[in-house]
């Protein structure tokens, strides 16, 4: 069992905010695990299938935890595996305190947790508090109850506009496309009220002004904390509270689908949402050990993101500014500085992330030449596809930069194999609600969710025990299968292993970044602990600094030159 520390983070008011660009200091005087952890996201449907139904499951994960131990991760985050009709791949929950049969049972979860802890790997579970499934008992009760009843009050039901109430209460659009309101038929068969769903119509939003909703989620938190989880990733953490006037609102056409506009939508970033997390923080503090909350809040700046991790709120929040930065030294330097400064100011670690189950995989994304708004996805007709070699070189270099930064980093399953986005899925295989709700106009997120290749020569690359993978795997992944890469010292998997091992050996997660300047506008160079990092985002080679030993290079060096799209970690020669 992992030994949990019970350390509180320092009072943010005592943390100095750095006054120069050149040194951005982490305040970490304590070593809570989440300040520096490398957290590996498991998308259970696509990780490993032990039952043979073509969908990954919890026993499949447990059986493969050794691979993650060998990789060297500190924690795993499991995307939802709770009971669900799977209309949005599990982000539509009917029972928050049970496991969906396609993924296994609660005992399977306990076994997974025990195995992970025995390997020293922490486990974070995904919590979906903004909405439930429309099959949730509460929503079913709301449908048969009368307007104005306590059962309806748990969700957001409103009368429609127009003489017959035939128009939605306002013009809000679902993040997956189409209207954000659906009209119900009342128990007597007449057209009735409308309910709000920021996502699919099968995902009705809870009304977080209701005490009963708050109580229920405290119960759910305690249920998983009692089982021993180390924390929660909180879905749509910026969306729970809505502007109670429900004003009309039209988002910018090119905004990320999950939010992040300079002037927030009336359903995102409402100040009262922070009360929810202050309350949850107290629930977590009832428990021994170092339990953590990580918020998924798509906001327009790291300063805003830092509002989620003030000392009495969450422990971490995703740094989507970093994910959205291009492979460009100046942009990256800006976002790294802004992040360290903003998170330091509230006493929180910065987090770093390049891929997850909602965005185009970074081995493809970083070399796209066209637009790619979050959530839209790319398909076979996408005009700006990169060549794979460039994409992979950039991905390896970008990850080598990310994993050298102080703070906590997230890795999405498959990126350690250098997997690219499967843009060429056949239309009939696609399952993302975005694809259906936009009548195929937006491809959505299936391309980053394709099941992992474990063994090059096995059927379905060893993903499933005899089934048909729920999304087809591309033939080109054969050469990227884990077993092939394991034996190859130059593989992406070997690079990730080495990065994680050196990151831990040199304690980079708890280090301090000091910029070293003067090379080229395309180059980033800094020190962290005793490691010097040079990332060349340009296309021309730059000389290796002299007097250093190369600890790792994300691609082959050209003599004493660092080629374009390459990151190196160095250590100064003694003496």
Q: Which of 57, 290, 358, 460 contacts ligand NOJ by CB under 6 A?
A: 358
Tokens of 35: 């300040």
Output the smallest distance, CB 375 to ligand NOJ, in A: 9
φ, ψ at 333 (rounded to 5°): -60, -40
Binding residues among 399-438 for ligand NOJ as defined by CB under 6 A? none
Alpha helices, DSSP H, located in 228-361: 273-285, 302-305, 320-324, 329-345
Binding residues among 207-236 for ligand NOJ as defined by CB under 6 A? 235-236
φ, ψ at 335 (rounded to 5°): -75, -30
Q: Is residue 356 packed enough to be buried (19+ CB in 10 Å), middle (13-18) or exposed (0-12)?
A: buried
Nearer to ligand NOJ, 199 or 280 (CB): 199
Residues that contact ligand NOJ, how many (by CB under 6 A):
9
Nearer to ligand NOJ, 24 or 356 (CB): 356
Q: Which of 40, 47, 91, 454 contacts ligand NOJ by CB under 6 A?
A: 91
Query: Active site residue: 6, 21, 285, 286, which one?
Result: 286
Output the smallest distance, CB 128 to ligand NOJ, in A: 6
Binding residues among 173-212 for ligand NOJ as defined by CB under 6 A? 199
Output the smallest distance, CB 484 to ligand NOJ, in A: 30
Mapping DSSP to helix (H, G, I), strand (E, B) and coil, where does residue 526 land? Answer: strand
Residue 249's contacts (CB-CB under 8 Å, 6 or more residues apart) are 170, 171, 172, 265, 266, 267
Output the smallest distance, CB 426 to ligand NOJ, in A: 22
In contact, 107 and 60? CB cutoff 8 Å: no
Q: Which of 49, 57, 74, 88 contacts ligand NOJ by CB under 6 A?
A: 88
The residue number whose beta carbon is nearest to ligand NOJ equals 91
Tokens of 280: 């949850």
Nearer to ligand NOJ, 130 or 567 (CB): 130
In contact, 427 and 377? CB cutoff 8 Å: no
φ, ψ at 42 (rounded to 5°): -105, 125
Nearer to ligand NOJ, 297 or 306 (CB): 297
Q: Is the dihedral of CA 473, 479, 485, 489 positive or negative?
A: negative
Nearer to ligand NOJ, 174 or 300 (CB): 174
Q: At what angle do helices 388-402 and 492-505 cross, to 10 degrees?
A: 10
Rounded-to-integer distance, Cα 452 and Cα 479, Å: 12
Nearer to ligand NOJ, 236 or 510 (CB): 236
Output the smallest distance, CB 88 to ligand NOJ, in A: 5
Output the smallest distance, CB 207 to ligand NOJ, in A: 17
Active site residue 235: yes
Residue 289's contacts (CB-CB under 8 Å, 6 or more residues apart) are 4, 5, 6, 230
43 binds ligand NOJ (CB under 6 A): no
Nearer to ligand NOJ, 341 or 357 (CB): 357
Query: Active site residue: 235, 338, 416, 432, which one?
Result: 235
128 binds ligand NOJ (CB under 6 A): yes
Output the smallest distance, CB 8 to ligand NOJ, in A: 29
Active site residue 11: no
Q: How many CA atoms lie within 13 A of 403 on its CB side?
A: 33
Residues labelled catalytic: 235, 286
Residue ranges binding ligand NOJ (CB under 6 A)? 88, 91, 128, 199, 235-236, 296, 357-358
């Amino acid at each position: 069992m992992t030994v949990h520390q019970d350390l509180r983070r320092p009072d943010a008011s005592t943390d100095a905010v750095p006054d120069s660009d050149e040194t951005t200091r982490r305040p970490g005087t304590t070593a809570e695990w989440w300040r520096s952890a490398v957290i590996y996201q498991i998308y259970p449907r696509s990780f490993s299938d032990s039952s043979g139904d073509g969908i990954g499951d919890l026993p499949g994960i447990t059986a493969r935890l050794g691979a993650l131990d060998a990789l060297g991760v500190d924690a795993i985050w499991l995307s939802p595996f709770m009971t669900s009709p799977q209309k949005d791949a599990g982000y539509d929950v009917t029972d928050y305190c049970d496991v969906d049969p396609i993924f296994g049972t609660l005992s399977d979860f306990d076994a997974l947790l025990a195995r992970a802890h025995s390997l020293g790997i922490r486990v974070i579970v995904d919590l979906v508090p903004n909405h439930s499934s429309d099959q949730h008992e509460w929503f079913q009760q709301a449908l048969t109850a009368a307007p104005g009843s306590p059962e309806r009050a748990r969700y957001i039901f409103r009368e429609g506009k127009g003489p017959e109430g035939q128009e939605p209460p306002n013009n809000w659009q679902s993040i997956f496309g189409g209207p954000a309101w659906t009209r119900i038929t009342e128990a007597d068969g007449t057209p009735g009220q409308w309910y709000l769903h920021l996502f699919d119509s099968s995902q009705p939003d809870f009304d977080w002004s209701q005490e009963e909703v708050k109580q229920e989620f405290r119960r759910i938190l305690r249920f998983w904390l009692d089982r021993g989880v180390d924390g929660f990733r909180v879905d749509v953490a910026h969306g729970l509270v809505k502007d109670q006037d429900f004003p009309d609102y039209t988002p910018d056409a090119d905004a990320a689908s999950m939010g992040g506009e300079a002037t927030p939508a009336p359903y995102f970033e409402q100040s009262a949402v922070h009360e929810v997390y202050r309350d949850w923080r107290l629930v977590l503090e009832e428990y021994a050990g170092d339990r953590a909350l990580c918020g998924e809040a798509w906001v327009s700046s790291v300063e805003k993101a830092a509002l989620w991790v003030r000392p009495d709120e969450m422990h971490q929040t995703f740094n989507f500014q970093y994910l959205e930065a291009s492979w460009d030294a100046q942009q990256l330097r800006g976002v790294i500085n802004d992040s360290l400064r903003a998170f330091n100011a509230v006493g929180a670690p910065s987090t770093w992330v390049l891929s997850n189950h909602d965005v185009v995989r970074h081995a493809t994304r970083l070399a796209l030449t066209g637009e790619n708004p979050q959530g839209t996805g790319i398909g076979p007709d996408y005009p700006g596809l990169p060549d794979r070699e460039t994409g992979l070189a950039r991905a390896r270099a970008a990850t080598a930069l990310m994993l050298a930064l102080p703070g906590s980093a997230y890795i999405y399953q498959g990126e350690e194999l250098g997997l690219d986005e499967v843009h060429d899925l056949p239309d009939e295989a696609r399952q993302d609600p975005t694809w259906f709700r936009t009548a195929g106009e937006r491809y959505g997120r299936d391309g980053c969710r394709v099941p992992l290749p474990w063994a090059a020569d096995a059927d379905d690359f060893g993903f499933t025990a005899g089934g048909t993978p729920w999304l087809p795997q591309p033939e080109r992944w054969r050469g990227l299968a884990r077993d092939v890469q394991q034996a190859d010292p130059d593989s992406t998997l070997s690079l990730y292993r080495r990065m994680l091992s050196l990151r831990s050996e040199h304690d980079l997660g708890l280090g301090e970044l000091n910029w070293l300047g003067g090379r080229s506008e395309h180059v980033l160079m800094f020190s962290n602990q005793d490691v010097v990092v040079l990332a060349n985002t340009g296309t021309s080679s730059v000389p290796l600094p002299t007097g250093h030993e190369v600890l790792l290079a994300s691609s082959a060096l050209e003599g004493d030159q660092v080629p374009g799209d390459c990151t190196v970690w160095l250590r100064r020669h003694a003496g």
